[in-house]
Amino acid sequence: MTDLVSLACDLVDVPSVSGDEAQVARFVASYLTDLGYHVELFDAAPGRPNVLATTDQAPRIVLSTHLDTVPPHLPARIAEGVLYGRGACDAKGIMAAQIAAAERLRAEGVEGIGLLFVVDEEMGSMGARAANAHPLAGECRWLIDGEPTENRLAVGSKGSLRLTLYTAGVPAHSAYPEHGRSAIDALLDVLGDVRRATWPTDPVFGETTVNIGVIAGGTRPNVVAADAHADLQIRLVTEAPPVKALLERAVRDRARIDYLTAAPPLRLATVPGFETCVVRFTTDIPHLTNWGTPLLLGPGSILDAHSAHERISEAELAAGVDAYVRLVHALALRKAQV
Protein backbone atom coordinates (compact mmCIF):
# COMPACT_ATOMS: atom_id res chain seq x y z
CA MET A 1 0.00 0.00 0.00
CA THR A 2 1.03 3.61 -0.56
CA ASP A 3 2.82 5.54 2.19
CA LEU A 4 0.77 8.67 1.58
CA VAL A 5 2.85 11.37 3.26
CA SER A 6 6.16 9.93 2.10
CA LEU A 7 4.92 9.81 -1.49
CA ALA A 8 3.63 13.38 -1.29
CA CYS A 9 7.02 14.55 0.02
CA ASP A 10 8.88 12.70 -2.72
CA LEU A 11 6.66 14.24 -5.39
CA VAL A 12 7.10 17.75 -4.01
CA ASP A 13 10.87 17.29 -3.94
CA VAL A 14 10.99 16.68 -7.70
CA PRO A 15 11.00 20.10 -9.45
CA SER A 16 8.32 20.31 -12.14
CA VAL A 17 7.67 23.94 -13.01
CA SER A 18 5.57 24.11 -16.18
CA GLY A 19 7.73 23.11 -19.14
CA ASP A 20 10.02 20.93 -17.01
CA GLU A 21 7.75 18.02 -16.03
CA ALA A 22 9.71 15.09 -17.50
CA GLN A 23 11.54 14.15 -14.30
CA VAL A 24 8.42 13.95 -12.15
CA ALA A 25 6.55 12.12 -14.93
CA ARG A 26 9.27 9.46 -15.01
CA PHE A 27 9.22 9.23 -11.21
CA VAL A 28 5.45 8.69 -11.14
CA ALA A 29 5.59 6.22 -14.03
CA SER A 30 8.25 4.14 -12.25
CA TYR A 31 6.33 4.24 -8.98
CA LEU A 32 3.10 3.07 -10.61
CA THR A 33 4.88 0.40 -12.63
CA ASP A 34 6.28 -1.02 -9.39
CA LEU A 35 2.71 -1.16 -8.05
CA GLY A 36 1.69 -3.30 -11.01
CA TYR A 37 -0.10 -0.81 -13.24
CA HIS A 38 0.14 -0.73 -17.01
CA VAL A 39 1.83 2.64 -17.45
CA GLU A 40 2.08 4.72 -20.60
CA LEU A 41 4.08 7.90 -21.07
CA PHE A 42 2.88 9.94 -24.03
CA ASP A 43 4.14 13.37 -25.01
CA ALA A 44 2.00 16.48 -25.10
CA ALA A 45 5.09 18.15 -26.60
CA PRO A 46 8.67 16.93 -27.01
CA GLY A 47 10.05 16.13 -23.57
CA ARG A 48 6.75 16.83 -21.80
CA PRO A 49 5.08 13.47 -21.12
CA ASN A 50 1.67 12.76 -19.63
CA VAL A 51 1.27 9.63 -17.49
CA LEU A 52 -1.62 7.17 -17.89
CA ALA A 53 -1.86 4.16 -15.56
CA THR A 54 -4.47 1.44 -16.03
CA THR A 55 -5.20 -2.08 -14.79
CA ASP A 56 -6.20 -5.11 -16.83
CA GLN A 57 -9.62 -3.54 -17.45
CA ALA A 58 -10.29 -0.45 -19.57
CA PRO A 59 -10.64 2.54 -17.24
CA ARG A 60 -14.24 3.40 -16.37
CA ILE A 61 -13.42 5.86 -13.59
CA VAL A 62 -10.25 7.95 -13.88
CA LEU A 63 -8.60 10.01 -11.16
CA SER A 64 -6.64 12.87 -12.70
CA THR A 65 -4.57 15.89 -11.78
CA HIS A 66 -1.53 17.76 -13.10
CA LEU A 67 2.21 17.21 -12.88
CA ASP A 68 3.33 20.82 -13.26
CA THR A 69 3.61 23.60 -10.71
CA VAL A 70 4.07 27.34 -10.77
CA PRO A 71 7.57 28.68 -10.01
CA PRO A 72 9.67 28.72 -7.97
CA HIS A 73 10.39 25.19 -6.79
CA LEU A 74 10.15 24.90 -3.01
CA PRO A 75 11.43 21.65 -1.46
CA ALA A 76 9.30 19.58 0.88
CA ARG A 77 9.42 19.94 4.64
CA ILE A 78 7.09 18.68 7.35
CA ALA A 79 6.37 20.60 10.53
CA GLU A 80 3.71 19.71 13.10
CA GLY A 81 1.78 17.45 10.78
CA VAL A 82 1.81 19.84 7.82
CA LEU A 83 3.59 19.34 4.50
CA TYR A 84 5.05 22.51 3.01
CA GLY A 85 6.53 22.95 -0.47
CA ARG A 86 5.66 23.79 -4.05
CA GLY A 87 2.85 21.51 -5.16
CA ALA A 88 1.93 20.45 -1.62
CA CYS A 89 -1.71 21.22 -2.38
CA ASP A 90 -1.51 22.10 -6.08
CA ALA A 91 -1.32 19.36 -7.00
CA LYS A 92 1.28 16.82 -5.84
CA GLY A 93 -0.39 16.12 -2.52
CA ILE A 94 -3.56 15.51 -4.50
CA MET A 95 -1.66 13.16 -6.83
CA ALA A 96 -0.44 11.17 -3.84
CA ALA A 97 -3.98 10.99 -2.44
CA GLN A 98 -5.33 9.79 -5.78
CA ILE A 99 -2.68 7.06 -6.03
CA ALA A 100 -3.39 5.96 -2.45
CA ALA A 101 -7.12 5.91 -3.18
CA ALA A 102 -6.61 3.85 -6.32
CA GLU A 103 -4.54 1.36 -4.35
CA ARG A 104 -7.22 1.03 -1.67
CA LEU A 105 -9.89 0.54 -4.32
CA ARG A 106 -7.84 -2.13 -6.06
CA ALA A 107 -7.37 -3.91 -2.73
CA GLU A 108 -11.15 -3.84 -2.30
CA GLY A 109 -11.58 -5.47 -5.70
CA VAL A 110 -12.93 -2.41 -7.53
CA GLU A 111 -12.17 -2.75 -11.24
CA GLY A 112 -11.72 -0.25 -14.05
CA ILE A 113 -9.82 2.43 -12.10
CA GLY A 114 -7.32 4.58 -14.00
CA LEU A 115 -4.90 7.39 -13.16
CA LEU A 116 -4.13 10.26 -15.55
CA PHE A 117 -1.51 12.88 -14.74
CA VAL A 118 -0.94 15.67 -17.26
CA VAL A 119 1.52 18.48 -17.95
CA ASP A 120 0.93 22.20 -18.49
CA GLU A 121 -2.25 22.78 -16.46
CA GLU A 122 -0.74 25.94 -14.99
CA MET A 123 -0.14 27.39 -18.46
CA GLY A 124 -2.28 26.39 -21.44
CA SER A 125 -3.55 22.85 -20.68
CA MET A 126 -1.44 21.35 -23.45
CA GLY A 127 -1.28 18.06 -21.57
CA ALA A 128 -5.04 17.79 -21.19
CA ARG A 129 -5.56 18.54 -24.86
CA ALA A 130 -3.17 15.74 -25.79
CA ALA A 131 -4.81 13.36 -23.32
CA ASN A 132 -8.22 14.10 -24.79
CA ALA A 133 -7.11 12.43 -28.03
CA HIS A 134 -5.99 9.23 -26.29
CA PRO A 135 -7.85 6.15 -27.59
CA LEU A 136 -8.83 5.05 -24.06
CA ALA A 137 -10.64 8.31 -23.36
CA GLY A 138 -13.83 7.06 -24.96
CA GLU A 139 -13.88 4.05 -22.62
CA CYS A 140 -14.13 6.21 -19.50
CA ARG A 141 -17.46 6.93 -17.79
CA TRP A 142 -16.33 9.34 -15.05
CA LEU A 143 -13.39 11.75 -14.67
CA ILE A 144 -12.53 12.90 -11.14
CA ASP A 145 -10.25 15.91 -11.53
CA GLY A 146 -8.14 16.82 -8.52
CA GLU A 147 -7.66 20.41 -7.45
CA PRO A 148 -7.68 21.89 -3.93
CA THR A 149 -11.38 22.18 -3.01
CA GLU A 150 -11.00 21.34 0.70
CA ASN A 151 -12.42 17.89 -0.09
CA ARG A 152 -15.72 19.37 -1.25
CA LEU A 153 -17.34 18.56 -4.58
CA ALA A 154 -17.38 21.62 -6.81
CA VAL A 155 -20.77 22.26 -8.39
CA GLY A 156 -19.15 24.74 -10.75
CA SER A 157 -15.92 26.48 -11.68
CA LYS A 158 -15.30 29.85 -13.26
CA GLY A 159 -13.93 30.07 -16.77
CA SER A 160 -10.77 31.83 -17.84
CA LEU A 161 -9.65 34.19 -20.59
CA ARG A 162 -5.93 34.90 -20.96
CA LEU A 163 -4.68 37.71 -23.16
CA THR A 164 -1.90 40.22 -23.74
CA LEU A 165 -2.35 43.93 -24.47
CA TYR A 166 0.34 45.65 -26.55
CA THR A 167 0.85 49.39 -26.96
CA ALA A 168 3.29 51.20 -29.23
CA GLY A 169 4.92 54.58 -28.70
CA VAL A 170 7.51 56.88 -30.23
CA PRO A 171 10.91 56.92 -28.47
CA ALA A 172 12.49 60.22 -27.51
CA HIS A 173 14.86 61.69 -24.96
CA SER A 174 13.10 61.76 -21.60
CA ALA A 175 14.13 65.41 -21.12
CA TYR A 176 11.95 66.25 -24.16
CA PRO A 177 9.00 63.86 -23.82
CA GLU A 178 6.83 66.09 -26.02
CA HIS A 179 8.86 64.84 -28.99
CA GLY A 180 7.82 61.25 -28.35
CA ARG A 181 4.84 59.23 -27.18
CA SER A 182 5.10 56.85 -24.24
CA ALA A 183 3.80 53.33 -24.81
CA ILE A 184 3.76 52.87 -21.03
CA ASP A 185 1.52 55.90 -20.51
CA ALA A 186 -0.79 54.59 -23.21
CA LEU A 187 -0.89 51.15 -21.60
CA LEU A 188 -1.67 52.60 -18.17
CA ASP A 189 -4.57 54.58 -19.65
CA VAL A 190 -5.94 51.45 -21.31
CA LEU A 191 -5.57 49.37 -18.16
CA GLY A 192 -7.34 52.03 -16.13
CA ASP A 193 -10.35 51.83 -18.43
CA VAL A 194 -10.26 48.02 -18.32
CA ARG A 195 -10.33 48.11 -14.52
CA ARG A 196 -13.24 50.57 -14.51
CA ALA A 197 -15.34 48.53 -16.94
CA THR A 198 -18.54 46.87 -15.74
CA TRP A 199 -18.19 43.12 -16.10
CA PRO A 200 -20.86 40.38 -16.02
CA THR A 201 -22.07 38.73 -12.83
CA ASP A 202 -23.80 35.40 -12.29
CA PRO A 203 -25.91 34.16 -9.34
CA VAL A 204 -23.92 30.91 -9.12
CA PHE A 205 -20.40 31.92 -10.16
CA GLY A 206 -20.36 35.47 -8.78
CA GLU A 207 -18.36 38.32 -10.33
CA THR A 208 -16.07 38.45 -13.33
CA THR A 209 -12.61 39.41 -12.09
CA VAL A 210 -9.67 40.88 -13.99
CA ASN A 211 -6.09 40.30 -12.87
CA ILE A 212 -3.26 42.30 -14.42
CA GLY A 213 -0.50 39.81 -13.77
CA VAL A 214 2.47 41.21 -15.73
CA ILE A 215 3.36 44.71 -16.96
CA ALA A 216 6.53 45.35 -18.95
CA GLY A 217 7.84 48.03 -21.26
CA GLY A 218 10.52 50.49 -22.16
CA THR A 219 14.28 50.13 -22.08
CA ARG A 220 15.78 52.88 -19.88
CA PRO A 221 14.49 55.62 -17.58
CA ASN A 222 15.95 58.33 -19.83
CA VAL A 223 14.09 57.09 -22.94
CA VAL A 224 10.40 57.56 -23.65
CA ALA A 225 9.08 54.00 -23.96
CA ALA A 226 8.56 52.72 -27.50
CA ASP A 227 6.62 49.62 -26.48
CA ALA A 228 4.81 48.08 -23.54
CA HIS A 229 2.59 45.13 -22.81
CA ALA A 230 0.46 43.63 -20.05
CA ASP A 231 -0.63 40.04 -19.45
CA LEU A 232 -4.15 39.67 -18.10
CA GLN A 233 -6.29 36.81 -16.87
CA ILE A 234 -10.03 37.29 -16.66
CA ARG A 235 -12.04 34.82 -14.58
CA LEU A 236 -15.24 34.27 -16.51
CA VAL A 237 -18.79 33.78 -15.23
CA THR A 238 -20.19 33.79 -18.79
CA GLU A 239 -18.97 32.56 -22.15
CA ALA A 240 -15.96 34.44 -23.51
CA PRO A 241 -17.52 36.39 -26.46
CA PRO A 242 -19.48 38.97 -24.42
CA VAL A 243 -16.44 39.59 -22.22
CA LYS A 244 -14.25 40.04 -25.28
CA ALA A 245 -16.75 42.59 -26.60
CA LEU A 246 -16.63 44.55 -23.34
CA LEU A 247 -12.84 44.41 -23.31
CA GLU A 248 -12.58 45.65 -26.89
CA ARG A 249 -14.99 48.49 -26.07
CA ALA A 250 -12.76 49.53 -23.14
CA VAL A 251 -9.54 49.24 -25.14
CA ARG A 252 -10.92 50.77 -28.34
CA ASP A 253 -8.11 51.20 -30.88
CA ARG A 254 -5.42 52.15 -28.35
CA ALA A 255 -3.84 48.70 -27.96
CA ARG A 256 -3.52 45.41 -29.78
CA ILE A 257 -5.20 42.46 -28.08
CA ASP A 258 -3.76 38.97 -28.45
CA TYR A 259 -6.13 36.34 -27.05
CA LEU A 260 -4.18 33.33 -25.77
CA THR A 261 -6.55 30.82 -24.17
CA ALA A 262 -10.22 30.69 -23.26
CA ALA A 263 -12.27 28.23 -21.21
CA PRO A 264 -15.94 28.68 -20.29
CA PRO A 265 -17.40 28.43 -16.78
CA LEU A 266 -18.61 24.94 -16.00
CA ARG A 267 -21.47 23.44 -14.05
CA LEU A 268 -20.33 20.08 -12.75
CA ALA A 269 -21.83 16.79 -11.61
CA THR A 270 -22.36 16.20 -7.90
CA VAL A 271 -23.05 13.18 -5.71
CA PRO A 272 -25.50 13.04 -2.79
CA GLY A 273 -23.83 13.10 0.60
CA PHE A 274 -20.88 15.33 -0.35
CA GLU A 275 -20.41 18.91 0.81
CA THR A 276 -20.30 21.21 -2.23
CA CYS A 277 -18.74 24.50 -3.28
CA VAL A 278 -18.22 26.79 -6.27
CA VAL A 279 -14.59 27.48 -7.18
CA ARG A 280 -13.27 30.59 -8.87
CA PHE A 281 -10.34 28.91 -10.58
CA THR A 282 -10.17 27.09 -13.91
CA THR A 283 -9.09 23.48 -14.40
CA ASP A 284 -8.17 21.05 -17.17
CA ILE A 285 -11.76 19.77 -17.27
CA PRO A 286 -12.82 21.81 -20.35
CA HIS A 287 -10.04 20.08 -22.30
CA LEU A 288 -10.79 16.53 -21.11
CA THR A 289 -14.28 16.24 -22.56
CA ASN A 290 -13.73 12.75 -24.00
CA TRP A 291 -13.02 11.24 -20.58
CA GLY A 292 -16.62 11.03 -19.40
CA THR A 293 -18.67 13.08 -16.96
CA PRO A 294 -16.35 15.34 -14.93
CA LEU A 295 -16.30 15.92 -11.20
CA LEU A 296 -13.93 18.16 -9.25
CA LEU A 297 -12.63 17.40 -5.75
CA GLY A 298 -9.35 17.42 -3.88
CA PRO A 299 -7.71 18.00 -0.49
CA GLY A 300 -6.11 21.30 0.42
CA SER A 301 -7.12 24.93 0.05
CA ILE A 302 -6.69 27.01 -3.10
CA LEU A 303 -5.78 29.91 -0.79
CA ASP A 304 -2.51 28.12 -0.01
CA ALA A 305 -1.73 27.30 -3.65
CA HIS A 306 0.88 29.36 -5.56
CA SER A 307 1.99 30.98 -2.30
CA ALA A 308 5.34 31.10 -0.53
CA HIS A 309 3.79 29.02 2.26
CA GLU A 310 2.02 26.42 0.10
CA ARG A 311 0.90 23.66 2.42
CA ILE A 312 -1.40 20.73 3.13
CA SER A 313 -1.91 18.90 6.39
CA GLU A 314 -1.43 15.18 6.77
CA ALA A 315 -5.03 15.00 8.02
CA GLU A 316 -6.30 16.69 4.85
CA LEU A 317 -4.36 14.24 2.70
CA ALA A 318 -5.81 11.26 4.55
CA ALA A 319 -9.31 12.73 4.32
CA GLY A 320 -8.73 13.23 0.60
CA VAL A 321 -8.01 9.54 0.14
CA ASP A 322 -11.22 8.70 2.00
CA ALA A 323 -13.19 11.17 -0.12
CA TYR A 324 -11.87 9.76 -3.39
CA VAL A 325 -12.66 6.19 -2.32
CA ARG A 326 -16.17 7.15 -1.24
CA LEU A 327 -16.73 9.07 -4.47
CA VAL A 328 -15.59 6.20 -6.67
CA HIS A 329 -17.92 3.81 -4.83
CA ALA A 330 -20.81 6.23 -5.35
CA LEU A 331 -20.02 6.60 -9.05
CA ALA A 332 -19.76 2.86 -9.47
CA LEU A 333 -23.36 2.76 -8.27
CA ARG A 334 -24.23 5.63 -10.66
CA LYS A 335 -25.46 8.01 -8.00
CA ALA A 336 -24.04 11.13 -9.63
CA GLN A 337 -26.36 14.00 -10.53
CA VAL A 338 -25.74 16.95 -12.85
Distance CA(25)–CA(30), nearest Å, equals 9
- How far is residue 336's CA from residue 156's CA, in Å, rounded to a whole number? 14
Q: What is the pLDDT of residues 35-66, one digit of tens each?
A: 999 999 999 999 999 999 999 889 999 999 99
Domain termination site, one of 263, 298, 321: 263
81-95: per-residue pLDDT in tens? 999 999 999 999 999
Task: Please spell the DSSP secondary structure of 165-213, one letter per residue.
Answer: EEEE-B--BTT-GGGSB-HHHHHHHHHHHHHHS---EETTTEE-EEEEE
Residue 334 confidence (pLDDT):
74
Q: In this structure, are 324 and 251 located in the same domain?
A: no
Rounded distance, CA 245 to CA 121, Å?
Answer: 27
**Same-domain check for residues 20 and 100:** yes
Task: Give the confidence band of 333 by pLDDT, cuts at 50, 70, 90.
Answer: confident
Same structural domain, 99 and 196: no
Range of the domain at 208: 159-263
Among residues 67, 190, 52, the alpha carbon closest in space to that of 113 is found at 52
- Catalytic residue selected from 21, 103, 121, 147: 121
Question: Smallest Cα–Cα separation from 262: which of 249, 246, 243, 290?
Answer: 243
Q: Is the Cβ–Cβ distance between 11 and 87 less than 8 Å?
A: yes
209 lies in the same domain as 276: no
Total-model pTM: 0.88
* pLDDT tens digits, 166-189: 999 999 999 999 999 999 999 999
Of 236, 263, 290, which closes a domain? 263
Handedness of CA 268, 270, 274, 276 (dihedral sign): positive
Per the CB < 8 A criterion, the answer to whether 115 and 227 are in contact is: no
Contact by Cβ (8 Å): 201, 265: no
Q: Is 121 a catalytic residue?
A: yes
What pLDDT, on the 0 to 100 scale, is given for residue 159?
Answer: 94
Cβ-count burial 220-229 (b if 16+ within 10 Å, e if not): eeeebbbbbb
Do 99 and 9 reside in the same domain of the chain? yes
Nearest Cα to 101, choosing from 238, 1, 201? 1
Give the closest residue to 169 by CA, choosing from 215, 219, 228.
Answer: 228
DSSP readout, 114-144? EEEEES-TTTT-HHHHHHHT-TTGGG-SEEE
CB 143 within 8 A of CB 288: yes
Identify whether 221 is part of a domain.
yes
CATH of the domain at 257: 3.30.70.360
**242 pLDDT higher than 70:** yes
| Domain CATH for 122 | 3.40.630.10
Q: Report the pLDDT value the prediction gives residue 335, as an integer from 0 to 100.
A: 55
Q: Using CA atoms in the order 297, 300, 306, 307, what is the torsion angle rounded to 10 degrees?
A: 160
Q: Which of 213, 244, 263 is the last residue of a domain?
A: 263
Q: Which amino acid is at 67?
A: L
Please tell me the distance from the alpha carbon of residue 266 to that of residue 208, in angstroms, as a whole number: 14
* pLDDT band at residue 337 under the 50/70/90 scheme: low
Instruction: Return the pLDDT at 336.
Output: 54
DSSP 58: P
CA nearest to 317, candidates 85, 113, 154: 85
